[in-house]
Chains A and B, each alone.
Chain A
Amino acid sequence: MAAGNATAPPIVRVRDLTVGFGAKNVLEGVSLDVRPREILGVVGGSGSGKSVLMRTIIGLLPKRAGSVELFGHDVDRLDAAELRLVERRFGVLFQHGALFSSLTVMENIQFQMREVLDLSQRLLDEIAVAKLEMVGLSAADGRKWPAELSGGMTKRAAMARALALDPEFVFLDEPTSGLDPISAGEVDDMIATLQATLGLTVFMVTHDLESLRTVCDRIVVIADGGIVADGTMADMARHQHPWVKSYFRGRRGEAFVAPAGRK
């Protein structure tokens, strides 16, 4: 696992970000850097704004104040064509997969390649199979329709689609939620392997303590509309914020932060 490179310019640079709906601000003055080649885990209670932060960074939600820089470009200063080029450099795994239901899994993966690149059909098929196998699916699964996939397969297929153009950076929205612990572990391994082989930077919204412990280089905790903690798993164990305490040292968290203490 490549640790985050602290000196290189950050892939994502968020400054004083404020996002809200109606009268309420969900996030207020959030600043965050995502460094190249790190796996950043973002945690927070339900409704704390984890997904809102992710969706704002990728440009699906409007922000009220602050700035977002992707790969060193301020997204507000880019015109539509430049923004599209930046958007092609990251992949997104949506929480429920968001596979196009009228295309087969294979066509889902090839969709962006077909639109953006000029490739032969043979290469398209071979690359799609390669991507499927990288995420642990087979060519036979590629011929299925999204409605025929199980929850774990949907996540994997969506992951393969997110990786279609070999992005440098992927956003994962709860990649392990709704999976059994074995599949969740496999997804964690897959993320770590892909990170190692493709040199990915990963921004991962998750609730899964096991993923945080095994794959994340750095953890950011969102609560009360801002970032309350930022550090490694060990830092989390020492943190005094009440939510962080109950999350990492509650009944479920204890086994993860202090594995030697109990067993």
Chain B
Amino acid sequence: MAAADLAGSDTLLTFAVSRGRLLARARGDWTCQNARELEAGLARLAHASRQSPRVSIDMSGVTAFDTFGAWLVERLRRDIAAAGGKLAVAGISAVNRALLDEMAAVSHREPPAPPAGPRFALPDTVGALAALRGDAAAFLVMAGALVEASARAIRRPRSFRLTSTVHQFDRVAWQAVPIILMITFLIGAIIAQQGFFQFRRFGADLYVVNMIGFLIMREIGVLLVAIMVAGRTGSSYTAELGSMKMREEIDALKTMGFDPVEILILPRVLVIVLALPALTFIGSMAALFGAGLVAVFYAGMSPDLYISQLREAISLDHFKVGLIKAPFIGAVIGIIACAEGLKVRGSAASLGEHTTTSVVKSIFMIIVLDGLFALFFSGIGM
């Protein structure tokens, strides 16, 4: 084989065969910046060493040397040794020699963990169904712990965290009022406009008011508010408790002999249970007001007619149906949010994941619960 095949040259590394030995000369910066080029050059050298296994490398021309360069030399040494050859390193400074020795001590050449195999949808779905059981258990455990904590708070009212509760109420209920008013007002107006637009063709303008009253008092008011609260408050509960969990604040409470459920979760869930009916009432009124404005300005109904028709259409029962659902839905949002918060583990990604899960689950459960209530109320004739 021609000697030229065994020679390689670039600015960092040149090598050639001389009297049965492969002589390499290193030059320039053997640092991370040049690592790609060095890796390629040394691969060529390792390839050439198969024909000429006795290799020596002269490092005296190296101007800078770091872990990357040192590791590549060490890798070359191992490659050559594995092929039965030997690498001699000459002209290296004491400091660089120490670094090279450090690299020689690196034992592991274990390949990185294999990438995860393809995922199949079916096992994922089965897994998700199995997880559902765990979720149900976590929900019941949290609900039970809350009942226990509230029983204790009733027996010893002084242990109840009133300040925290008031503070939470301000955040959850009072500060939510503007956005709730705006959303429900708009939705009320939109439903009314669509109603008048469609019903007018049948000359049933007046009954639009019945539909609005029914829909808003029984369903739309509470559902809209609950979804808003799940997104606004449920997520913040999960994030708060999750970051407290991450920073071991919850463990600190436990070791001081406090029950985190009583101190952190009871006030929060209680607040959401109280806030939801209040916000539902405000939201329903805003929706009726929005619908009324549309009735007057879009459909040309007189305000008196709108109000009297509304009074005829909705009874106290409809009003009650909406408000009775609210605290239960609130409790479900609160419990899911807090249970998810406590499931957060170390990483920031886990916090984000559980916050998302909290909101998604809450909204799902709001709809399910609403369906169950619909069956229940029609069963008892409300």
Which A residues are closer than 8 A to B by beta carbons?
100-102, 106, 113, 117-120, 123, 125-127, 129-131, 133-134, 138-139, 143, 145-148, 163, 165-166, 193, 196-199
Contact = CB atoms under 8 A, between A and B. Distances in A.
B35 A117 contact: yes
Interface string B91-121: 0000100110011011111111100000000
A165 B33 CA distance: 9
Interface of B: 31-33, 35-36, 39, 66-68, 71-72, 75, 95, 98-99, 102-103, 105-113, 345-349
B107 A106 contact: no
A198 B99 contact: yes
A197 B347 contact: no
Given A143-B113, A197-B95, A130 B346 contact: no
Given A133-B107, A145-B346, A166-B66, A117 B33 contact: yes
A197 B105 CA distance: 13
A88 to B, nearest CB: 10
Contacts of A113: 32
Contacts of B32: 113, 117, 119, 165-166
Nearest to B66: A166
Nearest 3 interchain pairs by C-beta = A147-B346, A101-B347, A166-B66
A198 B66 contact: yes
Contact of B75 (A126, A134, A163, A166): A126
A118 B105 CA distance: 26
Given A129-B108, A196-B95, A197-B99, A148 B346 contact: yes
Given A113-B32, A120-B39, A139-B108, A131 B67 contact: yes
A67 B204 CA distance: 79
Contact of B110 (A129, A134, A165, A197): A129
A140 B111 CA distance: 11
Contacts of B108: 129, 133, 138-139
Contacts of A131: 67
B345 A147 contact: yes
A120 B72 CA distance: 12
A102 B348 CA distance: 6
A101 B349 contact: yes
B347 to A, nearest CB: 4
B202 to A, nearest CB: 57
Nearest to A193: B102
A146 B71 CA distance: 26
Contact of B36 (A119, A130, A133): A119
A225 B209 CA distance: 73
Nearest to B36: A118
A133 to B, nearest CB: 5
Given A117-B33, A196-B95, A196-B98, A127 B67 contact: yes
6 contacts: A102-B349, A117-B33, A133-B105, A133-B106, A196-B95, A197-B98
Given A125-B112, A139-B110, A196-B95, A130 B347 contact: no
A92 to B, nearest CB: 17
A127 to B, nearest CB: 6
Question: Which of A131, A138, A197 neighbours the largest number of chain B CB atoms within 10 Å of its CB?
Answer: A197
Question: Which of A100, A127, A133, A199 neighbours the largest number of chain B CB atoms within 10 Å of its CB?
Answer: A127
Question: Which of A120, A139, A165, A166 neighbours the largest number of chain B CB atoms within 10 Å of its CB?
Answer: A166
Contacts of A119: 32, 35-36, 39
Nearest to B68: A127
Given A126-B109, A133-B107, A102 B347 contact: yes
Nearest to A147: B346
A101 B346 contact: yes
A125 B95 CA distance: 25
Nearest to B105: A133
Contacts of A147: 345-347
A199 B97 CA distance: 12
A16 to B, nearest CB: 34
Contact of B67 (A101, A166, A193): A166
A130 B98 contact: no
Nearest to A106: B112
A245 to B, nearest CB: 36
Nearest to A99: B347
B247 to A, nearest CB: 10
Given A117-B35, A130-B67, A198-B67, A146 B110 contact: no
A68 to B, nearest CB: 25
B114 to A, nearest CB: 11
Contacts of B109: 126, 129
